[in-house]
Amino acid sequence: MSSQVRLWFCQKVLFAHPSRFCEYILECPSAEVRTAFVRIIVFVAHFSLEDGPCPTPSYLTQHYHHQQQQQQQQQAVDSGAVATAGGSATAAAGKTLSDHLLQTVLALLWMEVSEHGRHLQQYFSLFVMYASLGVAEKAQLLRLGVPATFIQVALDEGPGPPIKYQYAELAKLYQVRILPFSSPFFDDSFVTRHRVSKMS
């Protein structure tokens, strides 16, 4: 499947109907359908990792803007300062189709995941499956802040409402938290370089 076909599929079939991510990962009663959809997302994200920058879907642009507003409001509360606008556009700058796919799935944590706690295994297994594909995928998840976000979820500190179902399946969440660091390629020097690159 060429990069043009992957882009067409994501734009016309997925990003044009963002509710499908929730419907097929969290809401669908069939475990087979949920698993099949997760595998489609994983492999499209994997093969589009090197496709280059891609226009940001309108759904994600709105999500970035809302996320930026929340961060500014929290910073204003913490510091007592007036929040300033701007910065949401840079959150999507230079992102690939693979990034957009993963961040659309990650964006479900802001609302939908808390409403559909019974089917979390497929949700978190998507990231476990993706991380298991290689070092580049692990590095991408680190760059997108996935492990850090999952730590927040595990501690009920966001980014969305707490998961409603007390006995939700969270084993895959904890697996994602440790997977990026379980590879011998991810030693202390790699983590240090990653932190420095984020600061520069």
Residue 5's pLDDT band, with cuts at 50, 70 and 90, is: very high
Burial of 15 per CB tally in 10 Å (0-12, 13-18, 19+): buried
Q: Given a cut of 50, is residue 70 above it in pLDDT? A: yes
More confident residue, 185 or 17: 17
**What is the arithmetic mean of pLDDT over 43-53?**
92
Lowest-pLDDT range of 98-107, 122-131, 150-159, 185-194: 185-194
105 within 8 A of 25, measured Cβ to Cβ: yes
For residues 198 and 48, give the distance between their C-alpha atoms in angstroms, rounded to a whole number.
23
Largest CA distance in the chain: 52
Tokens encoding 84 = 């300033």
- The model's confidence at residue 195, banded by pLDDT at 50, 70 and 90, is very low
The pTM assigned to this predicted structure is 0.72
Q: How many domains does the chain have?
A: 1
- For residue 144, pLDDT beyond 80: yes
Instruction: Name the residue range of residue 51's domain.
Output: 3-79+87-199
Tokens linked to 125: 């297994």
Q: Greater confidence, 97 or 176?
A: 97
Max mean pLDDT among 47-51, 65-69, 78-82, 145-149 falls in 47-51
State how far Cα 29 lies from the chain centre.
Answer: 23
The token duo for 90 is: 């840079």
